[in-house]
Amino acid sequence: MKKIGSAVLIILGQVFAASLASADTANTLSDPRDYQGLAVAPNGTFSAYAYFRHVSAAVDSAGHGENLSQTLGVARANYLLKFGNLSIVPIDLTLPYADATVYVPQPMSPFGQTLNNTGLADLTYLPTIGYTIHEGEEIHTILAATIYVTAPTGNYNAPDLIHIGDNRWRFQGSLIAAQRYKMLTFDLVGDVTGYTNNRNFIVPLPGMGGMTTPTTEAIMQDPSIGVEAHVGADLSKTFWAAASFYFLSQGAHTFEVFTAGGVDTGVKATATPQQSVETLRFTYGIHIEKQSQLLLQYNTDILESGGYALTQYFGARFNHFFF
C-alpha cells in the first residue's frame, strides 16, 4: 500500500480532525457520573440535555497556531425504565450542530485558505442496559452496557474539504463498571468502534495548476479502541468535581483513488496511520436544584502518536430530569 505526499496528509489530517471533534461531541465519550442515574433516578424519568463546546487545535504537522476551530452544540434526550435493580434506557438520542473553521495550507503557495462549514452532524442512538448492586446507604455498584449507533444523517458534500457529517455508519459498543462510595464515584469504561466505508469521498491532490480533486471509490477506517476512567467527589450538597482520563487508539484511514473521469489510478493509499491520543477532562458540577444540573468542563489532549491533532475545548452541559 502506497503513502501519499505530506501536503495531502496535512489536508486530510484537518478533514479527519474536524470530523473526530464532531463525533466526540455526539457523546461517544461519557462524562463522569453519567451512569449514576441508573441507580438513583426513579422509573419513568425523562432527561433533557444541552451541550456547548468550543474546540480548537493546531492540526498542521509543525503545530503552528490554532488552525482548527469548532463551535458545537448538542441536544440530547433519554427515557429510563426500571425493573427492580435492572435499568433500561430504550430511548437515548443525540443530535449535534457544528460550525467548523479550518485553515488549509496551499502546497504551491506561501498563503493558505480559510474554510468554513456549518450544519447538523450525525444523529446517534445509544440505548443502555444496566444492573445495580446495592451494598449499603450511598454505596452501590453499577454494571452496564451501551451501544452507540451513529447514522449518516449530517450535512455532507463530497467536494468540501471539511465535513460536518461523516457519510458512513459508526457502531460503538461500551462496557461500564461504576462504583458509588458515599461521597466518591468511580467509573471505568471500555469500548470498541467499527465503521462502514464512505463511498463518496474526494481526495485533494496537488497538480500542475494547483489542487486537483480525483474521486475515490471509498475511504475506509480500521476499528478503534478506547478506555475511560473517571473519579468524582462531592464537595457539598450543591457542588462536586471530577477528573477524567481517556485513551483512544484510532484505526488507520485508507482509500483507493480514481481520476475525475472515473479511471482507476492504481493508487491505494494510507490517508492517516493508526493514531492514539491521551486526554484529560476536568468537570465542575453544580446542582442548581434537585432536578437540574450544570457541568462546566475543560478538556485537553496531552499525548499523541501517529500525527494525531491535539485538541482542547471549554464546554458546558445542562441537564434537567422530569420525574
pLDDT tens-digit map of 163-205: 888 899 999 999 999 999 999 999 999 999 999 988 887 766 5
Q: How confident is the model at residue 2 (pLDDT cuts 50, 70, 90)?
A: low
> What gap in Å lies between CA 319 and CA 323, rounded to an integer?
13
Show the domains of the chain with their CATH numbers: 2-322 (2.40.160.40)
Per-residue model confidence as pLDDT tens digits over 65-113:
447 888 999 999 999 999 999 999 999 999 999 998 887 666 555 566 7
Q: How confident is the model at residue 253 (pLDDT cuts 50, 70, 90)?
A: confident
35, 176 contact by CB (below 8 A): yes
98, 119 contact by CB (below 8 A): yes
pLDDT of residue 157: 85
Q: Which residue has the higher pLDDT, 231 or 260?
A: 231
pLDDT of residue 218: 78
Q: At 79, give phi and psi (nearest 5°).
A: -140, 135
Q: How confident is the model at residue 16 (pLDDT cuts 50, 70, 90)?
A: low
Planar angle of CA 173, 225, 285, nearest 5 degrees: 75
Q: What is the DSSP-derived secondary structure letter of residue 27? A: I
Q: Which amino acid is it at 91?
A: I
| Beta-carbon contacts of residue 148 (< 8 Å; ≥ 6 apart) | 28, 124, 125, 126, 170, 171, 172, 173, 174, 193
Q: For residue 60, is pLDDT > 60?
A: no
Per-residue model confidence as pLDDT tens digits over 119-160:
999 999 999 999 999 998 889 999 999 999 999 999 988 777
Instruction: For residue 15, count other CB atoms closer than 10 A to its CB.
Output: 24
268, 1 contact by CB (below 8 A): yes
